[in-house]
Amino acid sequence: MVTLQQKELIRVKLEEYVRRYPSQNKAVNSLKGTSQGTVSSILNGKWDSISDDMWMKIQSQLDMSGGWRLCGTSAYNSLMLYMKDAKDESNVMWVVGPAGIGKSTAAGEFSKSNRNVFLLTCSEDMHKSDFVKELAAKIGVRATGMTVRETLSAIIDSLVKMESPLLIFDEGDKLTDSVLYYYISLYNALEDKCGMVFLSTNYIRERMRKGLGRAKKGYDELDSRICRRFVQLDLVSGDEVEAICVANGLSDKAAIRTVRKEAAECGNDLRRVKKSVHKELKKLSLRNN
The confidence band for 288, taking pLDDT boundaries of 50, 70 and 90, is confident
- Whether 43 is in a domain gets the answer yes
- pLDDT greater than 80 at residue 246: yes
Mark whether 267 and 150 lie in a shared domain: no
pLDDT per position as a tens digit, 259-286: 999 999 999 999 999 999 999 999 998 8
φ and ψ at residue 248, rounded to 5 degrees: -105, 25
pLDDT per position as a tens digit, 50-63: 998 999 989 888 87
The pLDDT assigned to 82 comes to 98
CATH number at residue 114: 3.40.50.300
CB 256 within 8 A of CB 244: no
Mark whether 248 and 159 lie in a shared domain: no
Range of the domain at 258: 238-288
Mark whether 83 and 203 lie in a shared domain: yes
- Whether 64 is in a domain gets the answer no
Kindly state the average pLDDT of the residues 96-115. 95
- Whether 69 is in a domain gets the answer no
Which of these, 194, 128, 112, 131, lies nearest to 160 by C-alpha position? 194
Report how far apart, in Å, the C-alpha atoms of 32 and of each of 35, 58, 133, 249 are: 9, 8, 13, 37
- Whether 24 is in a domain gets the answer yes
Reduced to 3 states (helix: H, G, I; strand: E, B; else coil), residue 253 is helix
**Inter-axis angle of helices 148-160 and 128-139, to 10 degrees?**
30
Mark whether 252 and 277 lie in a shared domain: yes
- Whether 67 is in a domain gets the answer no
- Whether 272 is in a domain gets the answer yes
- Whether 68 is in a domain gets the answer no
Mark whether 46 and 148 lie in a shared domain: no
The confidence band for 64, taking pLDDT boundaries of 50, 70 and 90, is low
- Answer left, alpha or beta for residue 62, where phi above 0 means left and psi between -120 and 50 means alpha: beta
Mark whether 151 and 97 lie in a shared domain: yes
CB 283 within 8 A of CB 112: no
Mark whether 168 and 191 lie in a shared domain: yes
Mark whether 218 and 246 lie in a shared domain: no
**Inter-axis angle of helices 4-19 and 52-59, to 10 degrees?**
40
Last residue of a domain, one of 185, 212, 232: 232
Which of these, 222, 166, 162, 227, lies nearest to 194 by C-alpha position? 166
Run of H or E including 114: none
CB 268 within 8 A of CB 242: no
Mark whether 13 and 108 lie in a shared domain: no
Run of H or E including 70: none
Mark whether 125 and 223 lie in a shared domain: yes
Q: What is the largest CA-CA distance in the chain?
A: 65
Mark whether 226 and 251 lie in a shared domain: no
Mark whether 117 and 201 lie in a shared domain: yes
- Whether 65 is in a domain gets the answer no
Question: What is the model's pTM?
Answer: 0.87
What is the total count of domains within the chain?
3
β pairing state of 92-96 and 195-200? parallel
- pLDDT greater than 70 at residue 247: yes
Tally: H helices and E strands in the chain: 14, 5
Q: Which residues make Cβ contacts (< 8 Å) with residue 110, sequence separation at least 6?
A: 79, 80, 83, 84, 117, 168
